[in-house]
Structure 1
Amino acid sequence: MDQRSSYIAIRNAFYPQAGIGISANAILICLHTAAAHVGHKPRITDLPITHLALTHILMLLTMGLLVSTDTWETQDIPGDFKCKVLVFLNKVMRGLSICTTCVLSVLQAITISPTGSWLANFKLKNTNPILKLFFFLWVFTMSTCSSLLLCTVSTPNKTQPGLLFVTEHCSFLPMKYIHREFFLTLMACRDVFFMGLMVFSSGYMVILLYRHKKQSQNLHNSRFSPKSSPEQRATQSILLLICCFAVLYCADSIISLTIGLTWTSDAILVCVQMLVANGYGTVSPLVLISADTQITKITQLTCGKKGHLLMKLF
């Protein structure tokens, strides 16, 4: 298989990935909306989870438009404009995915922190501070990605030396070394900061879960271990989510740094990076759906009603 065929095969693998990811995130939003209508008590993490799902839908959708040939067949909108908007939005959504996961991790750590701890002082009574935080994160992330609006262009028909491959139709113009290093450093500092907060909050949650387990073992000497609380199950799901994020993010960062620092235009490497970068957007809703107790109750209730209706019919 030649390089062109390998590139097409890897690129085509994105379509089922995007289809699963967009569908799963849409289902996650619908289930959270249904939980609110059923009357479940709102949780402080509901807003970050919904924001994360919306972010991943936009991230997968913009990448789907970038790799789809149908997007570039219409000549009504200039190719340069489409490239700039789609690449910019995709990178902004990737940055917001990191920020939102961090916010979700920190909020869960605050939620389960015991009364009297220093983190308990940060417990929120409403979602207004979270909305303000998300507004700031949108402005901040768009600012760090602003350079993409200048250097993204539609790939000309004739190969132009120095361009960095993004998709078949979009490329990055060569930047001065100092400018490239500045923006790469800025985005790296952003990611390292939020990753550091995630590691700290995750470590704190692991310690709390371990202490609770030890206390439960001391209180219950029976053969059967007590059932974990909804807060514990939610914490475990977020920890699993962060583990998935960390693995995929590290792989994505290594590939992205290799591409950015060497300015290589290896189409296959860029395609692999695209699949890895969007992997978290596909996996995260599946983890959150499977581990959410409110969603589990809604699905059980729905299935129970359908089963009862079928029994009446037959």
Structure 2
Amino acid sequence: MVTRDWTTGTIYLSQTITGVLGNFSLLSHYLYLYFIGCKFRSTDLIIKHLTVANCLVILSRGVPQTMTALGMKHFLSDIGCKLMFYVHRVGRDVSISSTCLLSIFQAITVSPRNTLWAELKAKAHKYIGPSVILFWIVNMILNILVPTGVSAKWSEKNVTKKTDYGYCYSITNDKLKEYGRLYAALVLLRDVFFVVLLLWSSSSMVVTLYRHKKQIQYIHGTNVSSRSSPESRATQSILILVSSFVSLFTLSSILHICLTVIRNPSFWLVNTSALLAGSFPTVSPYILMSHDSRVQRLCCACTRNTESHI
């Protein structure tokens, strides 16, 4: 038992440290670009909020799970448990929303000028800021019921189901049962809606890139430069990001459904679900930095941006 707990704690600790370092490195990168006067891209604002949301997810779930696995028990009060779960849900949902917005905006950016997106293409950057703020507000309101189903100690009389996370209990009683079903339905509809948008925008980008590549090959023949444009690299980065998100999110959702359905979920199911929930926030900053040419060039060729879209 001790060996199992220490192994689990080490895995959680490694994921938490890796995720925090990656996301703070990405935020530091943007802070560096700001101080040296680099020109920001329109998608950078979305990525900043995505990074903040990722940090909230990692810290609100990874840190408590690590402390619990390493032997620390009951270190959170009832209010602390409710706050941790609420922050985790808001961060997770903003991460989903931001990833979807990033994919849609890039799909509009790379779309040809002779399509129906032409008019929206010129104005899209103006809607980024209000959209991101709206995501935070809506998700903070939508998750307002999350704290009602969390407790530091299982002291409810009419509890029909509980899930032990080690440091807190997720509970369901007769009073919360009907509200829980309505809430679960709303969350499911929202998540399905965002996944559909992600798949649509990703498919649109793939088709656009394929057509562009065929046109370039037709014009220049076989003598095509192997260097891709910044726009193409950004699109490839977002496609990899979306692919990682959809796969990890699908697995995480399946395990979350299992946690909801199974009356007494096992130790491995609870911990695997928590690890998958933190996987995307951990890997996403590394995907974004690996395809950002400004990280590699340290922004030596950047010029001061006097007309930033942010």
TM-score (norm 2): 0.86
Superposed structure 1 runs of 4+ greater than 4 Å apart: 69-74, 124-128, 160-163, 223-226
Whether the aligned pair in 1 keeps the contact of 2:60 and 2:84 (CA below 8 Å) is: yes
Q: Structure 2 unaligned runs (5+)?
A: 302-310
How far did 1:248 drift?
0.3
Where does residue 274 of structure 1 map in the other structure?
274
Where does residue 234 of structure 1 map in the other structure?
234
Residues paired across the two proteins, number: 296
- Partner Cα distance (1:95, 1:166) in 2: 22
Taking a change above 3 Å as real, the CA distance of residues 134 and 268 of structure 1, as seen in their structure-2 partners, is same
Matches within 5 A, 1:61-80: 61-67=59-65, 68-69=67-68, 79-80=77-78
Taking a change above 3 Å as real, the CA distance of residues 187 and 255 of structure 1, as seen in their structure-2 partners, is same
- Partner Cα distance (2:198, 2:90) in 1: 19
The yes-or-no answer on 1:129 pairing with 2:146 is no
Whether the aligned pair in 1 keeps the contact of 2:13 and 2:63 (CA below 8 Å) is: no
- Partner Cα distance (1:19, 1:44) in 2: 29
Where does residue 42 of structure 2 map in the other structure?
44
- Which of the residues 140, 144, 147 maps onto 2:145? 147
How far did 1:281 drift?
0.5
- Partner Cα distance (2:95, 2:217) in 1: 37
Matches within 5 A, 1:1-314: 6=4, 9-67=7-65, 68-69=67-68, 79-123=77-121, 129-156=127-154, 162-176=160-174, 177-298=177-298
Taking a change above 3 Å as real, the CA distance of residues 148 and 269 of structure 1, as seen in their structure-2 partners, is same
Taking a change above 3 Å as real, the CA distance of residues 131 and 182 of structure 1, as seen in their structure-2 partners, is same
Tell me which amino acid in the other structure corresponds to 1:144.
Answer: L
What is the SS of the residue equivalent to 1:174? strand
Taking a change above 3 Å as real, the CA distance of residues 73 and 267 of structure 1, as seen in their structure-2 partners, is closer
What is the SS of the residue equivalent to 1:123? helix
Where does residue 306 of structure 2 map in the other structure?
none
What is the SS of the residue equivalent to 1:164? strand
How far did 1:117 drift?
1.6
TM-score (norm 1): 0.85
What is the SS of the residue equivalent to 2:202? helix
Deviations 1:167-206 (CA, angstroms, capped at 9, x unpaired): 2120122244433321111111111111111111111100
- Partner Cα distance (2:72, 2:205) in 1: 45
Whether the aligned pair in 2 keeps the contact of 1:154 and 1:169 (CA below 8 Å) is: yes
How far did 1:263 drift?
3.8
Q: Structure 1 unaligned runs (5+)?
A: 302-314
Taking a change above 3 Å as real, the CA distance of residues 72 and 130 of structure 1, as seen in their structure-2 partners, is farther
Tell me which amino acid in the other structure corresponds to 1:118.
Answer: L
Same amino acid, percent of matched pairs: 30
Deviations 1:201-260 (CA, angstroms, capped at 9, x unpaired): 111100100001101111122455442111001100100000010110010010001111
